[in-house]
Structure 1
Amino acid sequence: MSLANPLHDNNLLKEMRAGNAAAFQTLYRQHQAPLYRYALLRSASAETAADIVQDIFMGLLTDAYKFDPLRGSLQSFLFGVARNLILKREEAGRRFVASSASGSNDDEEEIEWIDEATTEEHEPSHRLFSSQVAEQVRRALAALAPHYRDVVVLYEMHDMSYLEIAQICQIDIGTVRSRLSRARAALLTRLKHLEPDSAAASAAR
């Protein structure tokens, strides 16, 4: 589970909207690094990640995103905003650059080399990696389709629950489980192509 305290966040948000600059600074310190890390791994661009985080906190200041504490935690809300901003950028990029594979199915292409038996066999009982991600794992993550990257980054690196991920990605819990299982299998399969010692070290961390 995530470590953010929803009640504390909500109180800080109220103080911030009442003009307390220190409350905003505290919220920024608490949420900036996790949001940046998610956006960086999700977009594979430091510039994009920095822009996303700036947009999120500007929106928080102006209440542009209309956070409702009755619908979930601020942390999950902010991750959802980050994901939506990245999706908008990706859509704009697709409109700008015509894809030669416009008729392909990302879901099928990304996992065509993973059978169900392999998915179950390699389901780890521990997390694939801790807060420090090895370069090999970053490359493997970048090779995943975005919807798989979302769930594995949120679960493995940000300790989000299935329910939180479902809320952030706007999917049901069963889809979270399925995508996470397939994403893990895809990562492990890709890491097997590295040198044995390196792959083992990456997966064990």
Structure 2
Amino acid sequence: MGDLTPDIELIRQMRNGDQNAFATLYRRHHPALYRYAMLRCGSASSAADVVQDVFMGLISGQFYYDALKGNLLSFLFGVARNLAMKFDAISRHRFMNFVDDEANDEEQEPVELTSEEMNPLDRLLHNQMAEELRIAIANLAPHYRDVLILYELQELSYLDIADICQINVGTVRSRLSRARLALAERLQVYRSVAA
């Protein structure tokens, strides 16, 4: 089954029991959902849980996709966002504050954004900046984190983000502006501490 088959056709085939259709949908949309969930949740294990729940809900029919309401990826981002919000609520309940209990977990895979042309010092500095950025994003309020990740990293439109987050476009714009400002302030704090 080719990657050129439209999502709606793959959904139809999946609902008729075609496992290959589900596998194609998974391969097609897993990377973007995982990147979103990783930045949204702040830990690899939580991101994996969110993405697994998204796809298990899709295949079981728990999350029903209606093509008349938008594209599949936006629907999946919306489901992932809702699951991440539940994760936030559980974390707040357990710890009374949102704490990323896996930030220092040595088994967590680092975000690798380096170039092979960089020397070891450049790679180290680049990895340190990427980690500071990841931490700064994880410390944003969830509603700011959502719009920032979806716009800046997933490159979705304001309309798509408004649909996913169930807010109006003006709210997307204002949250994005506030998220950028808060992120810049947090990164400035990291840089002043490191200096």
TM-score in terms of structure 2 length? 0.75
Offset of residue 172 of structure 1: 0.6
Offset of residue 92 of structure 1: 2.6
- Amino acid in the other structure paired with 1:182: R
**Match status 1:168 vs 2:164:** yes
- Amino acid in the other structure paired with 1:82: A
- In structure 2, the residue matched to 1:75 is 73
Q: 1:184 to 1:92 in 2, by over 3 A?
A: same
Q: 1:94 to 1:136 in 2, by over 3 A?
A: closer
Q: Distance in 2 between the 1:177 and 1:92 partners?
A: 28
- In structure 1, the residue matched to 2:46 is 48
Select which of 157, 174, 179 maps to 1:178.
Answer: 174
When the two structures are aligned, how many residues end up with a matched partner? 160
Instruction: Provide the identity percentage.
Output: 55
Q: Distance in 1 between the 2:166 and 2:68 partners?
A: 17
Structure 1 segments of 4 or more deviating over 3 A?
95-99, 193-196
Once the two structures are superposed, residues 132-170 of structure 1 have per-residue CA deviations (whole angstroms, 9 ceiling, x without a partner) of x82221121112111100000000110110011011111
- In structure 2, the residue matched to 1:26 is 24
Offset of residue 195 of structure 1: 4.4
Offset of residue 94 of structure 1: 2.7
- Amino acid in the other structure paired with 1:165: I
Q: 1:27 to 1:134 in 2, by over 3 A?
A: same
Q: Distance in 2 between the 1:49 and 1:193 partners?
A: 27
Offset of residue 25 of structure 1: 0.8
- Kindly report the root-mean-square deviation, in angstroms, between the aligned alpha carbons of the 2 structures: 2.2
**Match status 1:91 vs 2:77:** no
Q: Distance in 2 between the 1:89 and 1:143 partners?
A: 15
Once the two structures are superposed, residues 15-50 of structure 1 have per-residue CA deviations (whole angstroms, 9 ceiling, x without a partner) of 111222111111000111111111111111111111
TM-score in terms of structure 1 length? 0.72
Once the two structures are superposed, residues 175-194 of structure 1 have per-residue CA deviations (whole angstroms, 9 ceiling, x without a partner) of 00000011111222222344
Structure 1 unaligned residues grouped into runs of 5+: 100-132, 199-205
Task: Tell me which of the two structures has the higher relative contact order, counting C-alpha pairs closer than 8 angstroms and 6 or more residues apart.
Answer: 1
**Match status 1:152 vs 2:148:** yes
Structure 2 unaligned residues grouped into runs of 5+: 98-128
Q: Distance in 2 between the 1:176 and 1:98 partners?
A: 28
- Amino acid in the other structure paired with 1:31: H
- In structure 1, the residue matched to 2:14 is 16
Offset of residue 93 of structure 1: 2.9
- Amino acid in the other structure paired with 1:56: V
